[in-house]
Amino acid sequence: MAVTVSIPTILRTHTGGEKSVPAAGSTLAEVIDDLEANHGGIKGRLVKDGTLHRFVNVYVNDEDVRFSGGLEAKVADGDNVTILPAVAGGAR
Amino acid sequence: MLTIRRDLVEAMVAHARRDHPDEACGVIAGADDGTDRPERFIPMLNAARSPTFYEFDSADLLKLYREMGANDEVPVVIYHSHTATEAYPSRTDVAYASEPFAHYVLVSTRDPEAHELRSYRIVDGVITEEPVEVVESYEFTHPGQDDPPQE
């Protein structure tokens, strides 16, 4: 399954500056492994201890994968995967 | 240095005052052309609705970035308020900061009479405070346009 992955500014050091890159897989985990194969180091920025890093949001099309299976979320041919750093913080 | 129009500063402060004692947050987008000018004020909902934490709602975040992408914009300013502490990035702020080219603006509303507004770059966990220049318009602030036009 071929998908297009949108890469946020902070991770473009791994993609040679590209804003979006192709990847393959039938689940988000497979897509991330495929990304890692071509853009070494990116997986460690997305996954920690076998789950998605809390500082990052990943969407398959319009759906935040947190609500659709996390790394096991299904992806289909032609889907758009969007990676966005969470915008958050606070006084503590 | 952050150069920013007065009306945008006033909009951030008004948003922070309105949401006090919860933290307020938002973005000021600008053209993705290296000019580093905040232009479009986008107040965001604090999905955490908390006096000590803020987070953009995940669906709102996607919509915001799609909109900026379609407009060739970047988040020039990312702002939020601290409602009981000074306008200095907390450890949480630094842990989450992931826009290396954004100016992180903090507004403190702990004093009901006078706000505190300061700006920072936060890159790889390092906080660098920067001066804030408030201008009436950007017309004469572009590098190389130091001379006002003839009357």
Would you kindly state where each structural domain of chain A is located, as residue ranges?
2-85
- Label residue B40 exposed, middle or buried (CB < 10 Å: 0-12, 13-18, 19+): middle
Q: Is B96 domain-assigned?
A: yes
> What is the amino acid identity at position B65?
Y
Q: Is B79 domain-assigned?
A: yes
Residue B48 DSSP one-character state: T
**Correct CATH for A2-85 of 3.30.70.580, 1.10.1060.10, 3.30.470.20, 3.10.20.30:** 3.10.20.30
pLDDT digits 0-9 by tens, B80-133: 999 999 999 999 999 999 999 999 999 999 999 999 999 999 999 999 999 999
Q: How far is CA A90 from CA B11, B43, B48, B97, B128, in A?
A: 20, 16, 10, 11, 18
Average pLDDT, rounded, for chain A: 96
Assess contact for B123 and B131: CB atoms under 8 A. Answer: no
Q: What are phi and psi of A91, to 5 degrees?
A: -70, -20
Q: Is B149 domain-assigned?
A: no
CA-based nearest residue in chain B for residue A20: B69
B151 has a pLDDT exceeding 90:
no
Residue B139's pLDDT is 84
Task: Tokens for B111, please give them.
Answer: 């004093």
B150 has a pLDDT exceeding 90:
no
Chain B residues touching A89 at Cβ < 8 A:
53-54, 80, 89-90, 92-93, 95-97
Q: Determine the Cα–Cα distance for residues B96 and B85; give it in Å rounded to an integer.
A: 18
Q: What percent of chain A shows pLDDT beyond 90?
A: 95
Assess contact for A75 and B43: CB atoms under 8 A. Answer: no
pLDDT digits 0-9 by tens, B26-77: 999 999 999 999 999 999 999 999 999 999 999 999 999 999 999 999 999 9
Which one is predicted more confidently, B5 or B143?
Answer: B5
Residue A92's pLDDT is 77
The whole domain housing B109 covers 2-135
Nearest to B78 by CA among B93, B57, B95: B93
In this structure, what CATH number is given to the domain that contains residue B102? Answer: 3.40.140.10
The C-alpha of B53 sits at a distance from chain A's nearest C-alpha, in angstroms, of 4
List residues bridging with B54 in a β-sheet. A89
B147 has a pLDDT exceeding 60:
no
Chain B residues touching A64 at Cβ < 8 A:
58-59, 62
- What torsion, rounded to 10 degrees, do the Cα atoms B127, B128, B134, B139 define? -110
The mean-pLDDT minimum among A36-45, B31-40, B135-144 falls in: B135-144
Domains in chain B, number = 1
